[in-house]
């Protein structure tokens, strides 16, 4: 390209044409580390070895897909990978005669234009801001024309899950059979929101989170190239805070470099202050104080952390992370030699894991997890966090429920027999499966229901749901004398209840039944009887010495339910079989 551009103009030594002083050279604008050290080749990508190996083989075998779907958390290199693929497809080599290659030269016209984001045949679209079908139609229209300069037109669609349903549908046909000179590359952080019809037309790559070790090593190399000395512990803190994202970590490294004095090394304490974290040693000290039941020591540590600017809500998150680490160390002893863990956690953490049990760690996890939610909802985060820590101190020396039950059982605690609640009048259910037994007996020609509970169970077994519900909740038994049943219905019972019940019994037994309505009080409903029986069981359970000891040991605990294996479907105990009738006087 001919012509003289401003950057090619010779430097002006003397005064200007009108005697004015020469202009000062413009300062080079600063580029953040995430852009300055953006990978330019597949070899520069870290933590994505499987994807790089597959793509290299695809280029070597000339089996490059026409559409790619790149998915992963933010900052792992999805868009960067898309640009590397675009350069690999269009590189022509330094001599201008090269073909598609997994190692683009970086110096040809196509490579330099794509690197500078100004290539006319590599178009990037942000689907978060252009979600409509018209935006997709522009891409489809552009696929009809051959590339202006490159070998292959590349369309990179970022956050593709944000496209509307109609936009996805408009793209399907072109995506399935694109022209030979077109490649689509999609990137998304929400793969589940992408229609399966689109996924099935793409070669999918899951970019994984980059490990803490790989991130710390990578950040250390970049810090060295920037002429910055940073402590390994500080790099580890940044790598953990990055949560697998290279871009997030580089932004944090940028911030750490900016806050340090020029030429001075960056210490872990500075990075912890910057991140609002407590020192890792302080977190271990705090956890030890909590497990030893020392609230004064624990609050002294949090006071010091608060003075240094640490957020106590974040401190609870650190304790959660430490609890998880200790539980893993307890469960997988080989982790004590893992380079993923900082030295403090490999030594002091291993000792703590040996001293604590899995139930104690599990209880601490549950309390911290609940406490973290309380802190987020509380008007005073510090007060809420301190209340959580005080609670942890006071349960530290309390045995887990399983241990307490075992101790009390070994001490010989015995339970008095629970008094069975008295059966009310017309009971007599057979047991929990009584309804089914009654229906089977009737089907086989056996005598009909022997109690009102059997009648109610029969209605349930015959799938008469509304009748069964009203018999259970809205009917008081006055007299049960087959084939006559006398009932007092509640006002909400249907008017045809007696007729429906008589028809059901007649059909089931083959005998004519009479259902009489009465104004007498009668018995409580079956539902009321079941509630009374449940209350009696709860009262008996609460008097059990073992249960009393547990309730005393765990303030606030309560009895939720008491299960009785002998109770029937209505929560009532089985009825005693009726005694044989005594002969009347004068009969032989």
266 and 288 inside one domain: no
Is residue 409 included in any domain, yes or no?
A: no
197 and 130 inside one domain: yes
User: 337: exposed, middle or buried (C-beta count within 10 Å: 0-12, 13-18, 19+)?
Assistant: exposed
484-489 and 475-481 strand pairing = antiparallel
Is residue 414 included in any domain, yes or no?
A: no
Is residue 154 included in any domain, yes or no?
A: yes
**What SS3 class is residue 569?**
coil
Mean pLDDT per block of 10 residues along the chain (588 residues) reads: 40 51 63 89 91 94 93 90 94 89 91 90 88 87 90 92 90 88 93 91 92 90 91 88 89 89 85 74 88 91 84 88 90 79 75 87 92 91 92 78 64 47 38 38 55 88 85 90 90 88 88 88 88 86 83 78 78 67 45
Is residue 390 included in any domain, yes or no?
A: yes
- Residue 155, domain CATH: 3.40.50.300
Q: What's the number of domains the chain is made of?
A: 4
246 and 302 inside one domain: no
Distance, in Å, from the CA atom of 16 to the CA atom of 202, rounded to the nearest integer, reads 60
Render the burial of 168-205: b for 16+ CB within 10 Å, e for the rest: bebbeebbeebeeebbbbbbbbebeebeeebeebbbeb
Is residue 583 included in any domain, yes or no?
A: no
CB contact set of 304 (below 8 Å; sequence gap of 6+) = 282
- pLDDT score for 449: 85
User: Domain limits at 566?
Assistant: 425-575
**Final residue of a domain: which of 235, 250, 275?**
275
- pLDDT score for 436: 39
* 91 neighbors 149 (Cβ within 8 angstroms): no
- pLDDT score for 187: 93
235 and 374 inside one domain: no
User: Taking the model in full, what pTM does it have?
Assistant: 0.58
**Final residue of a domain: which of 257, 275, 293?**
275
Is residue 69 included in any domain, yes or no?
A: yes
88 and 173 inside one domain: yes
Two tokens at 549?
Answer: 């000891």
* 37 neighbors 222 (Cβ within 8 angstroms): yes
Is residue 520 included in any domain, yes or no?
A: yes
482 and 362 inside one domain: no
Q: Order the strands of the 153-158 sheet from edge to edge.
A: 122-126, 153-158, 182-188, 67-71, 203-206
- Residue 249, domain CATH: 1.10.8.60
Is residue 3 included in any domain, yes or no?
A: no
* 110 neighbors 92 (Cβ within 8 angstroms): yes
Strand partners, 480: 485
Instruction: Give the rounded distance of the alpha carbon of 525 from its chain centre.
Output: 45
332 and 431 inside one domain: no
202 and 119 inside one domain: yes
Distance, in Å, from the CA atom of 574 to the CA atom of 423, rounded to the nearest integer, reads 9
Residue 116 CB neighbour total at 10 angstroms: 8
81 and 107 inside one domain: yes
199 and 244 inside one domain: no
221 and 324 inside one domain: no
**Final residue of a domain: which of 183, 206, 229?**
206
Q: Would you tell me the crossing angle of helices 452-461 and 434-443 to the nearest 10 degrees?
A: 80
117 and 192 inside one domain: yes
- Residue 341, domain CATH: 1.20.272.10
């Amino acid at each position: 390209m001919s012509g003289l551009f401003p950057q090619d103009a010779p430097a002006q030594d003397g005064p200007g044409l009108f005697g004015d002083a020469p202009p000062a050279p413009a300062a080079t604008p600063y580029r953040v580390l995430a852009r300055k050290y953006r990978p330019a080749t597949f070899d520069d990508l870290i933590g994505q070895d499987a994807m790089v190996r597959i793509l290299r083989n695809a280029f070597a075998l000339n089996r490059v897909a026409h559409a790619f779907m790149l998915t992963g958390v933010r900052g792992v290199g999805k868009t960067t990978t898309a640009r590397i693929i675009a350069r690999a497809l269009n590189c022509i080599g330094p001599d201008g005669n090269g073909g598609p290659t997994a190692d683009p030269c970086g110096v040809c016209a196509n490579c330099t234009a794509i690197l500078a984001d100004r290539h006319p045949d590599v178009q990037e679209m942000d689907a978060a801001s252009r979600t409509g079908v018209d935006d997709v139609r522009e891409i489809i229209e552009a696929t009809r024309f051959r590339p202006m300069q490159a070998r292959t037109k590349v369309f990179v669609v970022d956050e593709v899950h944000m496209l509307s349903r109609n936009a996805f549908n408009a793209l399907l046909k072109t995506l399935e059979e694109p022209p030979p000179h077109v490649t689509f590359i999609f990137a998304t952080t929400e793969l589940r929101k992408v229609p399966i019809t689109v996924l099935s037309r793409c070669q999918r790559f899951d970019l994984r989170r980059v490990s803490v070790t790989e991130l710390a090593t990578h950040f250390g190399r970049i810090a060295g190239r920037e002429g910055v000395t940073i402590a390994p512990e500080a790099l580890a803190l940044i790598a953990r805070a990055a949560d697998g994202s290279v871009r997030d970590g580089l932004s944090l490294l940028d911030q750490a470099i900016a806050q340090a004095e020029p030429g001075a090394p960056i210490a872990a304490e500075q990075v912890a202050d910057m991140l609002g974290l407590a020192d890792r040693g302080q977190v271990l000290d705090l956890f030890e104080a909590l497990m030893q039941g020392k609230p004064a020591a624990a609050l002294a540590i949090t006071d010091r952390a608060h003075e240094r600017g640490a957020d106590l809500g974040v401190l609870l998150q650190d304790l959660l992370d430490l609890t998880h680490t200790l539980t893993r160390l307890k469960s997988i002893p080989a982790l004590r030699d893992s380079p993923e863990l900082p030295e403090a956690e490999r030594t002091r953490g291993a000792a703590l894991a040996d001293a604590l049990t899995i139930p104690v760690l599990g209880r601490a996890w549950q309390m911290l997890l609940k406490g973290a939610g309380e802190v987020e909802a509380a008007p005073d985060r510090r007060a809420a966090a301190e209340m959580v820590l005080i609670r942890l101190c006071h349960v530290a020396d309390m045995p887990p429920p399983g241990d307490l039950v075992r101790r009390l059982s070994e001490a010989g605690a015995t339970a008095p027999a629970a008094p069975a609640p008295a059966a009310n009048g017309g009971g007599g259910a057979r047991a929990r499966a009584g309804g089914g037994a009654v229906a089977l007996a009737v089907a086989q020609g056996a005598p009909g229901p022997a109690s009102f509970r059997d009648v109610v169970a029969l209605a349930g077994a015959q799938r008469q749901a509304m009748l069964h519900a009203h018999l259970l909740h809205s009917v008081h038994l006055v007299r049960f004398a087959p084939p006559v049943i006398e009932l007092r219905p509640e006002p909400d019972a249907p008017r045809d209840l007696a007729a429906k019940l008589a028809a059901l019994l007649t059909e089931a037994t083959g005998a004519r039944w009479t259902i009489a309505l009465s104004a007498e009080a009668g018995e409580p409903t079956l539902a009321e009887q079941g509630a009374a029986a449940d209350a009696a069981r709860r009262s008996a359970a609460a008097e059990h010495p073992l249960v009393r000891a547990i309730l005393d040991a765990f303030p606030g605990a309560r009895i939720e339910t008491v299960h009785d294996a002998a109770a029937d479907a209505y929560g009532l105990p089985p009825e005693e079989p009726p005694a044989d009738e005594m002969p009347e006087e004068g009969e032989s």
